[in-house]
Each structure stands twice: as C-alpha cells, then as structure tokens.
Amino acid sequence: MKVAFVGAGSWGTSLARVLAPSVASIILWSRDREVVEEIHTKRVNSVYLPAFELPANIQATTDIRAIDDADIIVISTPTQYIAGVIREHNLNLSDKPVVSVSKGIERGTLRRISELLHEEAGVPEHNFAVLTGPSHAEEVARETPTTVVAVSSNDTIGRLVQDLFLTPYFRVYHSRDVVGAELGGAFKNVIAISAGIVEGIGFGDNTKAALMTRGLAELVRLGEVLGADAMTFSGLSGLGDLIVTCTSKFSRNRHVGELIGQGQTLMDIQNSMRMVAEGVASTESIRDLGRRHNVELPIVEQVYRILFDRVAPLTAIQELMLRESKAEIWH
C-alpha cells in the first residue's frame, strides 16, 4: 500500500511515522523546498517535528503529482489552505479513500472539511473519513499511548482507516458521526484559546474548568442543530480532544490564548509563529455558524471579541460572569 500526505507539518509527519512500519511507501507533499530537502538529506523534519528520525520509506516531494498513484490520500494541510491547494493544482480526489486529519471550519464559506473536499475535489461521502481525537504530534512521535477515532459514514472505509493506523501505542476506534467529529475538532480549539487566556491572566483551575464545561455545552447545542449526535461530544472527538487541547503545553491554540492574556496582540503572536493555530480562524467561523443558526454561543462570542475587536480579556470574562442567571441546560 502507498499512502500520500498532502501537508508535511507536525501532525502529518508524526502520522507518517505511525504508518511507516506497516505500509510499503509514504509520500509527504510540501510546498516548502527546505523541508523536503532536509527530509531527503537528514531524515528529519526539524521545522515541524524536530528530534525524530524518519524511516526510509517516508519520502518527501514538492511535486503534487506524486500523490496520484497513492492508494489512500491523507489531508494534513491547515484547514484555511486546503481549498487553495486543491485549486492551484487542480486536484481531483474522487476515486480513492481520503482521510482528513486537519481540524477547522473554513472562513467565509463555513464549510466543514468534508464539505470542502466534496465541493472542491469531488470526494464522495462514501470515500471520506476523519481521523481525530486527543493526540498531540509530539507525544505520538514519542509513541506515548494515544487513542483516536476513525469516523466515516461508510463503515468499510472507517474500519479500513482504523486498521491502517492501529498500533500498540496508537489505538483507533471507529464511528459514523462525521458532522460531530469535524465540529468537535474545530470547536475545541476555540475553547483552548479561552483556557489559555485565563492562564495568561493568572486565573486558576476553577475558571478553566468552567470554560471547558460550558464550552462543551455550547458545542452540544450547535452540533445538534447541524445534525450531529450529542453523544459524540462525550467521546474522543469531543470531550477527549477538548481536555488535551485546553491543558497541554503542546497546544498551539492554548499558547495563543496565554499570550493574549499576558497582553500581546494577535498580530504579533501570529507573526512570531511558524505553525498555524487553527482556533483563530475557527473562532470567526464558529461564531458565524452560531449566528446563522440562531444558536447561543456566549464563550465563542467573547473569544471572538477578544481576538478581533480587541476587547480586554477581563472585560469579556466579566460579561460572561454577569450574564442573566439560569438553569444548567445542556441542550
């Protein structure tokens, strides 16, 4: 079997290492010639996943046509760039399984990745899967025990992806709720930014626990309106991913929030980062989704105001705390 990754960032590179012992050939596509050259010559990707050697059957390329003869395509490009890559290279991915490992909602169109790939690259629902869950690239590269979920409306594809990625340290479950899995993966990054903000301000665990719990309630409300199964959000792609992203030192989104809480501007933070914090764009997209569907998302709204309207974090938190009292209603 030959597997091709469209994107050679930290997560794509780490997952390629997961697959390396069990597949014949792996292609990592990147537009970054320096990354590709380093993988060829030094067998590492020091920009995105330093200190981890890449096996010989992982090859990197800047030639997108190298993915054409792959048996499975893995989309590991940041969400906001996926459509641009497809259009630039006129990709048609309609004839083979496609697995998304990216997390986000496209700005402007408000498309989930499955919708984006269907409309831009012809990927049919029955050939699409999501691999998601609480899984930082750095920990997976160290072979830390990790559990994720392969999600597809087609059980055959879901189990194919499950079996493909399953290892003694990387346990894969399967599910059919694509909407819930994609929404959970995007939403948790927004709440992670809020968790980082309160960390940066100097607030404690009480505040973070409140944001995580009430953020999960917002996710459930929006998910049900969009057709997801509410139970999905208590699983790996919901609660599990939320916990790890809000608490881990490896979380880029939490890191962005922490710097915001310390008084830095979003522009300065983004200019200093080589990797993408998906939660920034997803904050705007999810806020717009909530407004489109008349779903109340108070935490998301305040994160949006902090990021894009330059509202002081303390002001936003006070407004959340002083909202009208009510019963704890989840959905």
- Give the angle subtended at the CA of 8 by the CAs of 81 and 267, to the nearest 5°: 50
How far apart are alpha carbons 289 and 310 in whole angstroms?
21
**What's the farthest any 2 CA atoms get from each other in the chain?**
61
DSSP-H helix ranges across the chain: 10-19, 33-42, 79-89, 113-121, 137-141, 155-165, 178-201, 205-225, 241-247, 252-261, 266-272, 278-292, 298-308, 313-321
State whether residue 150 is helix, strand or coil. Answer: strand
As a whole number of Å, the end-to-end CA separation of the chain is 44
How far apart are alpha carbons 93 and 98 in whole angstroms?
7
Q: Which of 317, 198, 180 is nearest to 247 (CA)?
A: 198
How far apart are alpha carbons 197 and 260 in whole angstroms?
6
> In which residue are the tokens 């980082």 written?
196
328 vs 111, 210, 215, 220, CA distance in Å?
30, 12, 12, 13
DSSP strand pairing (25-29 vs 2-6): parallel
- CA contacts within 13 A on the Cβ side of 190: 31
96 is catalytic: no
Catalytic residue from among 103, 188, 208, 326:
188
- Quick one: how many helices (H) and strands (E) in the chain? 14, 8
> In which residue are the tokens 């899984």 written?
135
Q: What residues are annotated to the active site?
A: 188
